[in-house]
A and B are shown apart, each in its own frame.
Chain A
Amino acid sequence: SQELEQSPQSLIVQEGKNLTINCTSSKTLYGLYWYKQKYGEGLIFLMMLQKGGEEKSHEKITAKLDEKKQQSSLHITASQPSHAGIYLCGADKQAGTALIFGKGTTLSVSS
């Protein structure tokens, strides 16, 4: 069965620093989703990538999907305390199905 592995498991960065979170799949992805979760709250949708080599940005967050569609990275530029939370990658094997998720990366930003 397909699995998603995220790294690192947790990350502490100083405010203003850049960081990268990775998500690797054991199989080719149909779609790759990035969500953010704050403790005690639901998942907030960040971005979705479908095409090999695709890159999307929203404010200071950039996500990329590699050409083989098996690995994605999430890059945050000039981190802020508001970026703190748990980042989850999710994937569906084909259109219209449910998602499987990685275990998440916990990000802390120190000021």
Chain B
Amino acid sequence: DAGVIQSPRHEVTEMGQEVTLRCKPISGHNSLFWYRQTMMRGLELLIYFNNNVPIDDSGMPEDRFSAKMPNASFSTLKIQPSEPRDSAVYFCASRGGVAADTQYFGPGTRLTVL
């Protein structure tokens, strides 16, 4: 059974460039979450979707960040323009199905903005 899939696993970019992170949730899961992990702040929620609809985006840092979920099997997190302080590990998680209370995490995307 495939878990949550994220791509790319690593991204190095220069300040000002656009970055797009991708996530494929576990099939049958109806909730999808984007988190960001840094040494200073730990793991924080950015945004989450239920049935492809954004429910809570209060964690999105600013207008430079945007997230979409065009269908149940795909989501993107975009940063435009990127800044060095955006460097972090970005995780996608999904929930649903039989174990409806449990979130399952992807391997993360390590983003470095130079």
Contact = CB atoms under 8 A, between A and B. Distances in A.
Nearest to A45: B102
Contact of A40 (B56, B103, B110): B110
A100 interface: yes
Contacts of A99: 33, 45, 103
Interface centre among B33, B56, B101, B102 (most CB of A within 10 A): B101
Nearest to B3: A42
B101 A48 contact: yes
A104 B44 CA distance: 12
Nearest to B104: A45
Contacts of A87: none
Contacts of A31: 101
B61 interface: no
B50 to A, nearest CB: 7
B48 A98 contact: yes
Contact of B105 (A35, A48, A97): A35
Interface of A: 31, 33, 35, 40-45, 48, 50, 88, 90, 95-104
Contact of B102 (A42, A48, A101, A103): A48
Contacts of B103: 33, 45, 90, 99
Nearest to B92: A42
Contacts of A45: 102-105
Contacts of A50: 101
A36 to B, nearest CB: 11
Nearest to A44: B105
B102 A41 contact: no
